[in-house]
Amino acid sequence: MANQAAVEQRNVWSGTAENATEDRFLRVLDDPRYAFLVEVQDLIGYETAVFWRERGVRSVQLPITTSSVSSPMGLGSDSLPVRIDLFGVPTYLADSMQFMLEYGCRLAPGGCYYVMPSFRGEDPDATHLNQFFHSEAEIPGGLADVMAVADAYLRRLASAALGQLAPGLDGLGVGTGHVERLLATETRRISFDEAVELLGDDERYVEHGAHHRSITRAGEQRLLATHGPALWLTHFDRAAVPFYQAYDGDGGRTLSADLLLGPGEIIGCGERHVTGEQTRAALADHRVPEADYRWYTALKDHHPLRTAGFGMGVERFLMWLLDCPDIRWLQLAERYNGRPTAP
């Protein structure tokens, strides 16, 4: 719960991590808050593995390079890919390995998951990092199935934090009230269209692009204030999400959802197209050349399978858990595009 101690904690985070200098890593070593951050990271790693093992979902070890980014330049993509030259071959650092998780579902019938870095090309801000950790999974089934398992995963982490880290949270001045409220409240669900109506289609909260609408961070916070502490937004405009999200019955909306908590969206999920034909049509709809995704359409031609997946930004979950107002302060070792850092 927000209180004077929490305000003081924010100021200490600021003093140790903003306006970074070359000796930031030394100041991190002297700040007990970062030792506690390691405890939280360890808990997430352990509980994630146990959660999926209990469900028969397999861990997969994947590369961090790809020729097929999941947010290509086209309609519905909200991030910039990070392109590198790898021994003369144009390559991307992974923004997500969702496509490989879909591939993995053909090898692990119960589904598969990983926790690994994601690389983004846009500028960082208080809720977004250039390099962050992604906890992602893909399972057989549809949107309702993956929303249920993503919600259960979030609550598993929150429950473990409450049971094992309460003294540390109290020591930070954060307390456990926000965790207890989440665990005591069912996550509400509203459609994107319902959200726009609730927000009065106010330009402060809803942005209208040439092909789709989106809800701003201020809009997310307004929805959480009235429908929180956690809220699912479902069925986004077709052009608002990348090509791989399946369409609903009439094709005007997508079988996709975001879970809002704390700083805003912390989980994104969706059902995928089943067939190669559906995927090729979606690529055309989103104005994405098929060439880089020919393997992906071939996969669905030869092995059609209904799957759905989600990704959770680990540091965004940490923002909520630790009541930290700036995601950039939650890096043990800073990484920013275009700026050399050590270690």
Bridge partner list, 59 = 113
The reported pLDDT for the residue numbered 211 is 83
Tell whether 226 is covered by a domain. Answer: yes
Residue 75 has pLDDT above 50, yes or no: yes
Largest CA distance in the chain: 59
Residue 116 and residue 62 in contact, taking contact as beta carbons nearer than 8 Å: yes
Give the model confidence (pLDDT) of 261-270 as tens digits. Answer: 999 999 999 9
Bridge partner list, 255 = none
Give the model confidence (pLDDT) of 83-128 as tens digits. Answer: 999 999 999 999 999 999 999 999 999 999 999 999 999 999 999 9
Give the model confidence (pLDDT) of 18-73 as tens digits. Answer: 445 678 889 899 999 999 999 999 999 999 999 999 999 999 999 999 998 887 76
The reported pLDDT for the residue numbered 7 is 40
Bigger pLDDT: 2 vs 264 = 264
Tell whether 341 is covered by a domain. Answer: no
The reported pLDDT for the residue numbered 13 is 55
Cα four-point dihedral sign 89, 95, 99, 101: positive
Residue 335 and residue 128 in contact, taking contact as beta carbons nearer than 8 Å: no
Domain hosting 30: range is 4-330
Tell whether 188 is covered by a domain. Answer: yes
CATH of the domain at 148: 3.30.930.10
Other Cβ atoms less than 10 A from the Cβ of 193: the count is 15
The reported pLDDT for the residue numbered 9 is 44
Q: Which of 8-12, 22-26, 241-245, 305-309 has the lowest mean pLDDT?
A: 8-12
Structural domain total, the chain: 1
Tell whether 16 is covered by a domain. Answer: yes
Tell whether 339 is covered by a domain. Answer: no
Q: What percent of the chain has pLDDT above 90?
A: 82
The reported pLDDT for the residue numbered 187 is 98
**Residue 211 region by backbone torsions, left for phi larger than 0, else alpha for psi between -120 and 50, else beta:** alpha
Give the model confidence (pLDDT) of 242-298 as tens digits. Answer: 999 999 988 789 999 999 999 999 999 999 999 999 999 999 999 999 988 999 999
Tell whether 158 is covered by a domain. Answer: yes
Provide the mean pLDDT of the chain.
Answer: 92
Tell whether 308 is covered by a domain. Answer: yes
Bigger pLDDT: 143 vs 2 = 143
Tell whether 244 is covered by a domain. Answer: yes
